[in-house]
A = this chain, B = another copy of it.
Amino acid sequence: MSASVSPLAPREFAELPQLEGVRLATVAAGIRYKGRTDLLLIAFDPPATVAGVFTRSKCPSAPVDWCRAQLSRGRAAGLVVNSGNANAFTGAKGEAAAKASSEAAAEALGCQPEDIFLASTGVIGEPLDPEPFRRHLGPLAQEARGDRFREAAEAIMTTDTFPKLAHKEVTIGGRTVNVQGIAKGAGMIAPDMATMLAFVFTDAKISPMALQTALSEAVKTSFNAITVDSDTSTSDTLLAFATGTAGAEIVPGSADFQSFMEALTEVCRSLAFQVVKDGEGARKFLEVTVTGAETDVSAKTIALSIANSPLVKTAVAGEDANWGRVVMAVGKAGEPADRDRLAIWFGPHRVAFEGARDPDYSEEAASAYMKGSELAVKVDLGLGTGQATVWTCDLTKEYVAINGDYRS
């Protein structure tokens, strides 16, 4: 864990209201960390509908395998999350630990193990001892309360420097619906999918399939459009739970569904931005927009090539308006690009135009702009109408320090 809070942390944390039927509890179970909470139980009574998006890693963690297997049932009575140990690459022992913790949670909550969803984050390859789960989940189920989203967000942190919370109210059919969530980063952050843990809760009434449709759409411009270090974790998990206590069912294709999906996207994007702003060692938040590409897919490939380039990211850390490196990153993406039609902006400053330095470019003005903490780079390719925006942070010495020293 890092000693100091990211300078990009929000000034205030979102206040998450209680949702009927959702109770939370955390404990310092000593899974790996000392002196802090590391185990979270959330109970859904009655069971919530559930949807999920997971890592595309070919070597997913045991909890990811477990959640994928249960997801088709669309029903969740409990969520168990631990930090400190990812239960990834732990073989048969890992599967057994996942099964054991879901059984312990099921016993505590009086449901089937298949109604329990799991997530683990932390070190890879160390066996996860199921004993703390057996010992703590019963008491946690007893003491769980509705007003503990902040504590929940804190218990799932690893190298995060601040808890991540977001909330949005939306009026659907004349009734207030809450959409809210918690997340943790902070390394291995790259799209496909978001390389972190995030849990979204809503009191909307919505079927598992409709919730899945909305969630899959929401991740496209939130968790799947961020990158910290291009590394994809084995454990990425985004789960959405809907309790259904807020009014009439939301049906795909309706205006209500659209409103719900927008609120869900907004909450996912807020959480995703917080993950980037707490990227390991991050000092600057960078929005990368590519326009004028042949297709949206091509635009996103180029935007990610820029956002993942170590040379672009170190230039941002150094407050250097080094658009030459942006050209390099466009060039290496392998997508259609014509050097002589390229234009590049740092914020409002157009630095390059038609394949060369902008004649009106002021290095002074661009350099002054780079001193800000929230920056935007835009590239227009001049070829078509494809566009995409992704978000990332700078690459600093602190990133290297944090990651060169994680296990010791």
Known: A58-B339, A59-B330, A318-B403. 11 other contacts (CB 8 A): A55-B331, A57-B332, A59-B327, A59-B328, A123-B324, A124-B328, A125-B327, A230-B310, A232-B332, A234-B328, A320-B408
A257 at the interface (CB under 8 A from B): no
In the assembled complex, A126 has its CB within 8 A of some CB on chain B: yes
A399 at the A/B interface (Cβ < 8 Å)? Answer: yes
Q: In the bound complex, do residue A332 and residue B403 qualify as a contact, i.e. CB atoms below 8 Å apart?
A: no
- Judge whether A317 and B90 touch: CB under 8 Å: no
**Is A364 positioned at the interface, with any CB of B under 8 Å from its CB?**
no
Q: Are B328 and A188 in contact (CB under 8 A)?
A: yes
CA distance A327 to B231 in the complex (A): 11
Q: Please give the distance in Å from A399's CB to the nearest CB on chain B.
A: 7
Given contacts A59-B339, A323-B125, A406-B322, contact A190 B400 (CB under 8 A): no
Name A233's closest neighbour in chain B (CB-CB): B328
Interface residues of A in 158-203 (CB under 8 A from B): 187-188, 190, 192
Residues from chain B with Cβ under 8 Å of A334 in the complex: 56, 58
In the complex, what residues of B have CB within 8 A of residue A395's CB? 310, 400
Q: Quick check: which of A19-27, A30-38, A75-83, A352-360 contacts chain B, the rest being far away?
A: A352-360
A282 to B90, CA, bound (A): 32
Neighbour of A336 across the interface among B58, B86, B124, B317, CB < 8 A: B58
The reply to whether the CB of A221 lies closer than 8 angstroms to some CB of chain B is no
**Which among B229, B314, B354 is the interface contact of A400 at CB below 8 angstroms?**
B314
Query: CB distance B314 to A404 under 8 Å?
Result: yes
Give the number of chain A interface residues (Cβ < 8 Å). Answer: 73
The contact of A318 among B188, B234, B357, B404, by CB within 8 Å, is: B404
B residues in contact with A405, CB < 8 Å:
318, 320
- Shortest C-beta distance, A344 to chain B (Å), equals 9
Tallying the copies of this chain within the complex gives 2
Decide yes or no whether A89 CB sits under 8 A from chain B. Answer: yes
Inside 8 A of A309's CB, which chain B residues have their CB?
230-231
Is A303 interfacial (CB 8 A cutoff)?
A: no
Residues of A within 8 A of B (CB): 55-60, 86, 88-94, 123-127, 187-188, 190, 192, 229-234, 308-311, 314-315, 317-318, 320, 322-325, 327-337, 339-340, 342, 352, 354-357, 395-397, 399-401, 403-408
B residues within 8 A CB of A59? Answer: 327-328, 330-331, 337, 339, 342
The 9 A-B residue pairs with the shortest CB-CB distance, nearest first, are A124-B324, A318-B404, A91-B356, A57-B331, A59-B331, A232-B332, A314-B403, A397-B397, A91-B355
